C-alpha cells in the first residue's frame, strides 16, 4: 500500500533493483525454456504451426448457425458460427437470469411471509447444487420427458415445444411486418426459428442457477437503501410499487451493478459447460472438433483463450462505463 504509488520501473534502493533484475531474468529464462521445449516437442510430434488452417474447408456440419454455413465453408466460418452461438447463449442467459433474479430478490423483501420464504427456498435450493448437474437434469431428464414431434405442445399457436426443441415464429420485416408461424412438416416443424434442446437445457440451467446469485445481490442492494427513503416516498403519496420503481430501485442499482458484473462474467464463462452436452459453441466446435481435425493445439488454444479474455475485458469495460453513469446520475 505504502509503495504502490511508485510507478517508476526501478526503485532507487539497491537491493530492490537487483531483485527485480533477477526476477526479470528468471521470468525471461522460464518463457524461453518453455518456448524451446514446446518447439522441440512439436517437431518431435511432426506438428506444423501457423494459422493457415483457418482458410481450409471445414467439412463438418453445425446444427445451429446464425450465419450461412455449410460443410463447404471454411474453418474460419465455423469459428464465427461457434462464437455467435456462444454469444447468443450468453445473452439469453443474462436476460432470463436477470429477470428471475430481480423477481426472487424483490420477493425476499416482500411483506408476504410465504413469498419471502419461497424466495429464500429458491435461493438455497439452486445455489447449493452444482450447475452442471442442473444442466444434466434439464437435458437428460426434463427435456427427454417432453412429448415427441407428433404430439407437440402448443404454448400458443406460435410457440411449439417438443423433445426436439422450441419453435418460434420467424418475423419478417420486408414490406410490412409479417409473422410466419412454424408449420408442421413431414419430419419436423419448418418455417420458424428454432432453439435446439441443448440450447434450452443450458439456457434454463445456467439461468436458474445464476438467478439465485443475482437475487441475493438484488436483495442486499435494496436493503442498502436507507429506510427513510421508502418512508419519504410513501409520505409523498406514492404507491408502494411506485416507491419501489422510482425511489428505491435507482438507488439500489448503485450497490447492485458491481457484483452483478461478476455474475454476468461467471455466466458468460459458464457457457463453456456446453461442451458437456455438445451444444455447438466455441469449446465444443473449436477446442473439440477443429482441434481433432487439424491437430494444431497451440493455435486453437490461443484463439480460444483470446476470445474469452477479449470478451471478458470488453464486458468489464462496458459495465464499468454503465456503473460510472449510474453513479453520476444517481442522487
Beta bridge partners of 178: 172
Residue 127 vs 181, nearer CB to other proteins = 127
Q: Cα(159)–Cα(155) distance, rounded to whole angstroms? A: 5
The answer to the question of residue 313 lying near other proteins (CB under 8 A) is yes
> 2-36: string of b/e by CB count within 10 Å (b at 16+)?
eeeeeeeeeeeeeeeeeeeeeeeeeeeeeeeeeee
The answer to the question of residue 220 lying near other proteins (CB under 8 A) is no
Query: Which of 60, 149, 170, 230 is close enough to bind other proteins by CB under 8 A?
Result: 230
Q: 299 φ, ψ to 5°?
A: -65, -45
The answer to the question of residue 301 lying near other proteins (CB under 8 A) is yes
Q: Is 325 left (phi over 0), alpha (psi -120 to 50) or beta?
A: alpha
Residue 26 vs 183, nearer CB to other proteins = 26
Residue 185 vs 258, nearer CB to other proteins = 258
Q: Cα(143)–Cα(277) distance, rounded to whole angstroms? A: 13
- Coil, strand, or helix at residue 127? helix
The answer to the question of residue 118 lying near other proteins (CB under 8 A) is yes
Query: Which of 112, 148, 150, 156 is close enough to bind other proteins by CB under 8 A?
Result: 112
The answer to the question of residue 136 lying near other proteins (CB under 8 A) is yes
Beta bridge partners of 171: 179
> 201-211: string of b/e by CB count within 10 Å (b at 16+)?
bbbbbbbbbbb
Stretch that binds other proteins, among 1-9, 89-97, 169-177, 185-193 (CB under 8 A): 1-9
Torsion sign over Cα 136, 138, 141, 144: negative
The answer to the question of residue 53 lying near other proteins (CB under 8 A) is no
Residue 125 vs 155, nearer CB to other proteins = 125
Please count the residues of this chain forming the interface with other proteins, following the rule CB under 8 A: 75
The answer to the question of residue 131 lying near other proteins (CB under 8 A) is yes
Query: Which of 78, 257, 273, 294 is close enough to bind other proteins by CB under 8 A?
Result: 273
Using a 10 angstrom Cβ sphere, with 0-12 exposed, 13-18 middle and 19 or more buried, the burial of residue 200 is buried
The answer to the question of residue 305 lying near other proteins (CB under 8 A) is yes
Question: Which grid coordinates are listed for 79?
Answer: 469459428
Residue 169 vs 253, nearer CB to other proteins = 253
Q: Cα(32)–Cα(39) distance, rounded to whole angstroms? A: 10
Stretch that binds other proteins, among 87-95, 169-177, 185-193, 262-270 (CB under 8 A): 262-270
Query: Which of 12, 14, 44, 177 is close enough to bind other proteins by CB under 8 A?
Result: 44
The answer to the question of residue 292 lying near other proteins (CB under 8 A) is no
Q: Cα(175)–Cα(253) distance, rounded to whole angstroms? A: 41
The answer to the question of residue 187 lying near other proteins (CB under 8 A) is no
The answer to the question of residue 14 lying near other proteins (CB under 8 A) is no
Residue 73 vs 304, nearer CB to other proteins = 304
Q: Cα(269)–Cα(4) distance, rounded to whole angstroms? A: 31
Query: Which of 195, 312, 322, 326 is close enough to bind other proteins by CB under 8 A?
Result: 312
The answer to the question of residue 237 lying near other proteins (CB under 8 A) is no
What's the DSSP call for residue 154? E
Query: Which of 275, 293, 319, 326 is close enough to bind other proteins by CB under 8 A?
Result: 275
Minimum distance, C-beta of residue 34 to other proteins, in the bound complex (Å): 5
How distant, in Å, are the alpha carbons of 4, 6, 11, 16, 182 from that of 1?
5, 10, 15, 16, 62
The answer to the question of residue 29 lying near other proteins (CB under 8 A) is no
Amino acid at each position: 500500500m505504502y509503495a504502490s504509488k511508485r510507478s517508476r520501473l526501478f526503485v532507487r534502493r539497491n537491493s530492490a533493483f537487483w531483485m527485480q533484475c533477477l526476477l526479470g531474468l528468471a521470468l525471461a529464462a522460464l518463457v524461453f525454456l518453455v518456448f524451446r521445449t514446446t518447439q522441440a516437442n512439436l517437431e518431435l510430434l511432426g506438428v506444423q504451426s501457423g494459422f493457415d488452417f483457418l482458410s481450409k474447408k471445414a467439412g463438418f456440419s453445425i446444427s445451429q448457425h446464425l450465419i450461412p454455413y455449410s460443410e463447404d465453408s471454411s474453418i474460419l466460418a465455423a469459428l464465427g458460427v461457434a462464437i455467435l452461438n456462444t454469444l447468443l447463449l450468453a445473452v439469453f442467459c443474462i436476460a432470463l437470469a436477470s429477470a428471475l433474479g430481480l423477481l426472487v430478490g424483490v420477493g425476499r423483501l416482500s411483506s408476504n411471509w410465504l413469498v419471502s420464504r419461497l424466495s429464500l427456498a429458491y435461493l438455497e435450493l439452486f445455489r447449493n447444487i452444482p450447475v452442471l448437474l442442473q444442466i444434466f437434469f434439464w437435458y437428460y431428464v426434463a427435456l427427454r420427458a417432453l412429448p415427441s414431434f407428433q404430439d407437440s405442445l402448443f404454448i400458443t399457436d406460435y410457440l411449439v415445444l417438443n423433445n426436439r426443441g422450441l419453435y418460434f415464429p420467424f418475423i419478417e420485416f420486408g414490406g410490412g411486418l409479417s409473422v410466419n408461424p412454424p408449420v408442421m412438416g413431414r419430419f419436423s416443424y419448418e418455417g420458424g426459428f428454432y432453439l435446439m434442446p441443448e440450447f434450452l437445457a443450458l439456457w434454463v440451467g445456467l439461468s436458474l442457477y445464476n438467478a439465485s446469485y443475482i437475487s441475493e445481490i438484488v436483495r442486499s442492494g435494496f436493503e442498502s437503501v436507507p429506510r427513510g427513503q421508502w418512508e419519504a416516498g410513501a409520505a409523498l403519496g406514492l404507491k408502494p410499487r411506485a416507491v419501489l420503481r422510482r425511489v428505491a430501485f435507482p438507488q439500489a442499482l448503485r450497490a447492485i451493478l458491481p457484483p452483478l458484473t461478476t455474475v454476468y462474467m461467471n455466466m458468460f464463462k459458464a457457457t463453456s459447460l456446453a461442451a458437456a452436452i455438445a451444444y455447438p459453441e466455441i469449446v465444443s466446435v473449436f477446442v473439440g472438433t477443429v482441434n481433432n481435425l487439424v491437430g494444431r493445439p497451440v493455435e486453437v488454444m490461443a484463439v480460444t483463450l483470446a476470445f474469452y479474455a477479449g470478451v471478458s475485458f470488453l464486458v468489464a469495460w462496458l459495465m464499468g462505463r454503465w456503473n460510472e453513469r449510474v453513479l453520476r446520475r444517481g442522487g
